[in-house]
Amino acid sequence: MVKQKDKVIHTKSACDRSLAGVRDALYVLNGKWKLPIIIALSEGPSRFKDLQRRVEGITPKLLSKELKELEQNEFVVRHVYPQTPVLVEYELTEYSRSLDDIIQAMADWGFQHRARIQSR
């Protein structure tokens, strides 16, 4: 932000910056499943089937696809233990912890919002 005589010139407004940030975040966290999966995994590493149970309502196809994306964004690691039958575990990365603030904020808000809705 630069002042010039009496005019204020916004080279980049606070709003633009937060817009860019939010868009970047939404780009990575898109869809209705990414955060729920991460939350489910925050209880500890989990196998595919167990994860599917924890994240209620998700189909294997979607879970598989979302896990791949989460892996690419380095939120999740996939461990394969070659046995019969094979055992696969998904685990959160250290970096996934950086999402804690977002998750906390959303969880709090959702909780309040539900109370608000129900009181009517």
Partner DNA sequence: CAGGATCCATTATGATACTG
Partner DNA sequence: CAGTATCATAATGGATCCTG
What is the token pair recorded at 114? 């539900």
Binding partner of 103, given DNA, a second copy, none, CB within 5-8 angstroms per partner class? a second copy
Which residues within the stretch 67-86 sit at the binding site for DNA (CB under 7 A)? 67, 78, 85-86
108, 54 contact by CB (below 8 A): no
From CA 32, how far away is CA 82, in angstroms rounded? 32
Beta strands in the chain (DSSP E): 2-4, 7-9, 46-47, 76-81, 87-92
From CA 101, how far away is CA 97, in angstroms rounded? 9
64 binds DNA (CB under 7 A): yes
If the CB atoms of residues 31 and 110 are measured against DNA, the closer one turns out to be: 31
Q: Minimum Å distance from CB 5 to DNA?
A: 27
Q: Minimum Å distance from CB 77 to a second copy?
A: 17
Binding partner of 10, given DNA, a second copy, none, CB within 5-8 angstroms per partner class? none
CB 33: neighbour CB atoms within 10 A? 20
44 binds DNA (CB under 7 A): no
34, 70 contact by CB (below 8 A): yes
Which residues within the stretch 2-31 sit at the binding site for DNA (CB under 7 A)? 30-31
Q: Which residues would be at the binding site for DNA (CB under 7 A)?
A: 30-33, 47-50, 57-62, 64-65, 67, 78, 85-90
